Chains A and B, each alone.
Chain A
């Protein structure tokens, strides 16, 4: 199921741990990236076979960690932090603004599949709060105006 390049990365990962199961979480990340940001049962079964663990174990792991998703996110996944330092300086308002702008609540995806919003617990950018991760990129000291601009640019 993995493309050739990614299969090489999977094999490399497996060689770095004493037991195949140890590589489960990093391999799940690769699988999720291969499948446009979410995991299907078919993918979970494939990773279970690679790591030599039962499917139920993989499902347990996937549902425990917030970064693994079992439904598709938007093309741009906006991860807005509202945890303690961010909420002190406008993170909560930023999330509300984003929800209004895209007319969806956190945890949902726009109907065209372009954007999804996730409310985050501390993402470790506290001294440059409020912070947002868009897919894999950090944006810090984000104002509602910055967010508008970013969304408008991504839409194009």
Chain B
């Protein structure tokens, strides 16, 4: 079987591992933070740039570059906010990290805070993650008791606080500007950009919002030779290992840590153990429910940002949902459209109306009221959401619609050909 490459899951895969602060320190924890405290913040950002890491939340924006955009000398405090509002359907990797190795992520958050000059970092955790919230709160308590948080962590003189903030159930709050509104105590509405959060974020102060997994990579990247090693784990521009959430009709669903030069076919048939009950593969939603669907013929491709983009789809949050030959893709799309109709924040008309219309049209097919005209209409409603909204939720709702119609037109026709 194809082996995992263990950077983030090094501790988690060790059955003896004790996730307490003492256990994390014993496994070599906080060595990178100690080293970072001896560096200039701008050199830390430079190392992160050199590692080539791209954000693991879905957009794949280079993290080092994001940090370098932080407005300086504004006279206001700077903030680092960890995005732990993991809500993209199919994605369950940050939960693993927070539950099973909280200190790895928190060390990463501390490294990031030092790099951008943040003295109070927030972790925005989705409200439904009750167990993760408890684990993180106890871990933060341990850090304060040890002196690793507070006025003088590791004798650095760098005052640092961390607060675990609980969300309350809204997919849209994973979008960074909606997350910041929510953190401020408001409804989670995406903001007009610019200004970007690096200029005006939390309470109008310079802010960087980074995904949990991205931050959890920092202790490795900042270790000796870490940036170079990180780069070697994948093709150019697709650095590092990453966590793949594998779900659906495979024999071994799970969260796996893989290099970025692994073939998607091997993830399904080798790591995932193939399709369950000896069925054939019909298709894969490769990177969270918003990524364009792929058919069984298209899965012979390296699973990373750029190779998937070349195939007209995206890796997103690396959440692969595999479905077999018996799956009714119209029903599947109906479930996806219901999700976006439920989660649209209602601010922009194309998304608020489009998500509901598309759900309704897909339901028409299911109730025997489909037609060629409606198939075209469905595609058009999708098209009208693309790029016409303040945030990416409109695109996220449109991409599955347009790709399902394009890749599986006969499945829709089946519904009305019989009728």
Task: Chain B residues near A121: list those with CB within 8 A.
Answer: 87, 89, 171, 339, 342-343
Segment at the interface with B among A97-105, A106-114, A131-139, A144-152: A131-139
Q: How far is the CA of A98 from the CA of B328 in the complex (A)?
A: 23
Q: How far is the CA of A23 from the CA of B164 in the complex (A)?
A: 11
Q: How far is the CA of A45 from the CA of B290 in the complex (A)?
A: 39
Contact A64 B170 (CB under 8 A): yes
Task: Chain A residues near B254: list those with CB within 8 A.
Answer: 127
Chain B: residues with CB nearer than 8 A to chain A?
A: 77, 86-92, 94-95, 126-131, 161, 163, 165-171, 182-188, 203, 245-249, 253-255, 285, 289, 319, 321, 323, 327, 332, 335-336, 339, 342-343, 345
Would you give the 0/1 interface string for A58-71, flagging 1 where the beta carbon is closer than 8 Å to chain B? 00110011111000
Shortest Cβ gap from A82 to chain B (Å): 7
Contact B86 A124 (CB under 8 A): yes
Q: How far is the CA of A87 from the CA of B335 in the complex (A)?
A: 8
Tell which of A22, A29, A83 touches B166, judged by Cβ atoms closer than 8 Å.
A29
Task: Chain A residues near B129: list those with CB within 8 A.
Answer: 124
Contact A84 B90 (CB under 8 A): yes
Contact B131 A125 (CB under 8 A): no
Tell which of B94, B171, B246, B289 touches A84, judged by Cβ atoms closer than 8 Å.
B289
Would you give the 0/1 interface string for A68-82, flagging 1 where the beta carbon is closer than 8 Å to chain B? 100000000001001
Q: How far is the CA of A60 from the CA of B248 in the complex (A)?
A: 37
| Cβ-closest 5 pairs across A and B | A24-B185, A65-B168, A66-B169, A67-B169, A85-B247
Q: Which residue of B lies closest to A26 (CB)?
A: B166
Contact A124 B186 (CB under 8 A): no
Contact A60 B187 (CB under 8 A): yes
Contact B332 A84 (CB under 8 A): yes
A-B contact count (CB 8 A): 144
Contact B339 A21 (CB under 8 A): no
Task: Chain B residues near A66: list those with CB within 8 A.
Answer: 168-170
Task: Chain A residues near B170: list those with CB within 8 A.
Answer: 64-66
Q: Which residue of A lies closest to B343 (CB)?
A: A121
Shortest Cβ gap from A17 to chain B (Å): 8
Task: Chain B residues near A84: list those with CB within 8 A.
Answer: 89-90, 285, 289, 321, 332, 335-336, 339
Tell whether A122 pairs with B131 under 8 Å between CB atoms, given A21-B184, A84-B336, A89-B249: no
Chain A: residues with CB nearer than 8 A to chain B?
A: 16-19, 21-26, 28-29, 51, 53, 57, 60-61, 64-68, 79, 82-85, 87-89, 92, 120-129, 133, 136-138
Q: Which residue of B lies closest to A60 (CB)?
A: B187
Contact A22 B169 (CB under 8 A): no
Task: Chain B residues near A64: list those with CB within 8 A.
Answer: 170, 187-188, 345
Task: Chain A residues near B77: list those with CB within 8 A.
Answer: 18
Q: Which residue of B lies closest to A28 (CB)?
A: B168
Q: How far is the CA of A79 from the CA of B170 in the complex (A)?
A: 15
Q: How far is the CA of A8 from the CA of B321 in the complex (A)?
A: 44
Q: How far is the CA of A141 from the CA of B126 in the complex (A)?
A: 21
Q: How far is the CA of A120 from the CA of B161 in the complex (A)?
A: 33
Q: Write 5 A-B pairs (CB below 8 A) sorted by A numbering.
A: A21-B186, A66-B168, A67-B169, A88-B248, A137-B130
Contact B87 A122 (CB under 8 A): yes
Contact A126 B183 (CB under 8 A): no
Q: How far is the CA of A67 from the CA of B332 in the complex (A)?
A: 25
Q: How far is the CA of A16 from the CA of B247 in the complex (A)?
A: 38
Q: How far is the CA of A65 from the CA of B87 in the complex (A)?
A: 14
Task: Chain A residues near B345: list those with CB within 8 A.
Answer: 64
Q: How far is the CA of A14 from the CA of B99 in the complex (A)?
A: 26
Q: How far is the CA of A51 from the CA of B170 in the complex (A)?
A: 21
Task: Chain A residues near B327: list those with CB within 8 A.
Answer: 88
Shortest Cβ gap from A139 to chain B (Å): 12
Tell which of B168, B185, B188, B321 touches A85, judged by Cβ atoms closer than 8 Å.
B321
Q: How far is the CA of A125 from the CA of B171 in the complex (A)?
A: 15
Task: Chain B residues near A88: list those with CB within 8 A.
Answer: 247-249, 321, 323, 327, 332
Contact B87 A25 (CB under 8 A): no
Q: How far is the CA of A124 from the CA of B90 in the complex (A)?
A: 7
Contact B185 A53 (CB under 8 A): yes
Tell which of A22, A51, A128 touches B183, judged by Cβ atoms closer than 8 Å.
A22
Contact A68 B203 (CB under 8 A): no
Contact A67 B168 (CB under 8 A): yes
Tell which of A28, A127, A137 touches B92, judged by Cβ atoms closer than 8 Å.
A127
Q: How far is the CA of A1 from the CA of B91 in the complex (A)?
A: 39
Q: How far is the CA of A125 from the CA of B245 in the complex (A)?
A: 10
Contact A67 B128 (CB under 8 A): yes
Contact A68 B323 (CB under 8 A): no
Contact B184 A124 (CB under 8 A): no
Residue from the set A64, A67, A89, A136 with the largest chain B CB neighbour count within 10 Å: A64
Q: How far is the CA of A125 from the CA of B56 in the complex (A)?
A: 18
Task: Chain B residues near A24: list those with CB within 8 A.
Answer: 185-186
